[in-house]
Amino acid sequence: MSKYRLIHAEKACFPIMMMCRLLEVSRASYYAWIDRPASARAVRALALSERLAELHAASDGVYGAPRLLADLREEGVVVSGKTVAKTMRSSGLRGVAPRQWRTTTVPEPDLANIPVDRVQRQFDHGRLDAVWVGDILHPDLGRVAVPGNRDRRALPQGDRLGLSRAHARHSGHRSPHHGGRVNAAVPWPE
């Protein structure tokens, strides 16, 4: 805040002459500052701030600096992204960002659509076909890779596995296209 603005803001509480003396400015320069018209830069900054407030309100307070910058550029306004962000910060405007996705290995208890774990996470019982479980839905084949399946076949997704997409989504595992772990599976014999 400039000395002149401070004097102007506090002139109702303190005498101007005393504030000028304490801040080491002349009264004549203070009064010249009051009579001086706003600079072109200040006028443009005020107009930009008002337009950003209008656009932000039109988006129901959702748009942030990148989208408002795109809107301004569509209107033909030449302005940098950093200026838009700085003006928004100084005006107290803020866009709404979606909540960041958080992957958990243990589903929250309020998720009612997750099936019961019937094998209690004991996948290997020492013999073939003792336990059939599904882990990951393969998006290209629509089939499920089965970790407990020793002959490594990809089984079609269905009710006989007792799984749903919700289980695959909330079990903490990822599909092979997103860097998750996957058992090597050969295609289902036709």
Q: Kindly give the interhelix angle for 3-10 and 27-35, rounded to the nearest 10 degrees.
A: 90
| Phi then psi dihedrals of residue 155, to 5 deg | -95, 145
Task: Give the integer Cα–Cα distance in Å for 106 and 119.
Answer: 16
pLDDT cut 70: percent of the chain above it? 63
Residues 36-61: tens digit of each pLDDT:
988 899 999 999 999 999 999 999 99
Strands (E), 49-189: 136-138, 143-145, 154-156
Residue 175 lies in a domain: yes
**Average pLDDT over the chain, rounded to whole?**
76
Mean pLDDT of 164-183: 46
Residues 87-144: tens digit of each pLDDT:
999 999 999 888 888 776 765 666 666 667 777 878 777 888 777 766 555 555 555 5
Domain housing 120: 114-190
Residue 103 lies in a domain: no
First to last CA, the chain: 77
Check whether residue 4 and residue 63 sit in a common domain. no
Check whether residue 164 and residue 128 sit in a common domain. yes
Check whether residue 128 and residue 190 sit in a common domain. yes
Tell me: pLDDT of 28 over 60: yes
Per the listing, tokens 């506090």 go with 10
| Nearest alpha-carbon partner for 133 in 151, 113, 155, 114 | 155
Check whether residue 49 and residue 4 sit in a common domain. no
Check whether residue 137 and residue 85 sit in a common domain. no
Tell me: pLDDT of 187 over 80: no
Check whether residue 53 and residue 69 sit in a common domain. yes
Check whether residue 17 and residue 2 sit in a common domain. yes
Number of domains forming the structure of the chain: 3
Confidence of residue 164 (pLDDT cuts 50, 70, 90): very low
Residues 142-158: tens digit of each pLDDT:
555 555 555 555 545 44
| Domain limit, last residue, from 67, 97, 127 | 97
Residue 113 is predicted with a pLDDT of 67
Tell me: pLDDT of 182 over 50: no
